[in-house]
Structures are given as C-alpha cells and as structure tokens.
Amino acid sequence: MTRKGLAFFLAGLVATVFVAVVVSQFASSEPDGLEYVAEREGFAGQVEDHGLTDAPLADYGENLSTGNGLSTGIAGLVGVVVALALGFGLFWMIRAPKAGPPGSSS
C-alpha cells in the first residue's frame, strides 16, 4: 500500500472504530422498522428465540457482565475486528489474478 493509501485506510479505520465503540453508546434501543411492523400487524408472536441468545456477544454485549456502555463498546470493537479480518480474508482469496506481462496472450 502506498503511504497515501495507508493514510486513507487508517483514517477510515479510526472512523469505523469510533462509530462502533463511541457512537454506538447513543444508538436508539427502540424496535427497528421490521420489529415495529411485526408488533403492529400481529406477527411479532411468531418470532422464535435466536438459537445463540446465550452467546457471549449476543445482542451486542447484553450478556457481558461489565457496565452496559462498556459491553456495547467491546461488542462493537470485536465486530469491527472480525469484519475486517473476514473481509480481508475473503477478498484477498478472490482477488483478481495479476495481468500477465504485456504481449502475453491470456
């Protein structure tokens, strides 16, 4: 990566971590659009418990025993790291093959 590319990537990463760890503290906990419609139109009762509600990070840290804000921040940070790692892994694996030298036919 060039120096300019690295600077852009790091700036983007800082912004991303800031959103996941800090801005997430101020997220609304009201139902989202689909949950709201489910309640009003009468299919909220169909919803089954998620199979992984006991997972450590379920509901973005509700199961962590720290204070609520810190739990959300930890969940956000872990999510960002995992998303970045899986993104790098998958996209690196499927990246375009390097173009052959000029003049080669393929």
What the block records as the tokens of 55 is 């997972």
Give me the 64-83 binding string for other proteins, x by CB under 8 A, dash otherwise. --------x--xx-xxxxxx
* First CA to last CA distance, the chain: 27
DSSP code at position 28: -
Shortest spacing between CB 96 and other proteins, in angstroms: 5
Compute CA 45 distance to the chain's CA centroid, rounded to the nearest angstrom. Answer: 28
Examine residue 29 and tell whether it contacts other proteins (CB under 8 A): yes
Give yes or no for a contact between 39 and 30, defined as CB atoms under 8 angstroms apart: no
Which residues contact other proteins (rule: CB under 8 A)? 1, 5, 8-9, 11-13, 15-17, 19-20, 23-24, 26-34, 36-38, 40-43, 45-53, 55, 57-60, 72, 75-76, 78-84, 86-88, 90-92, 94-98
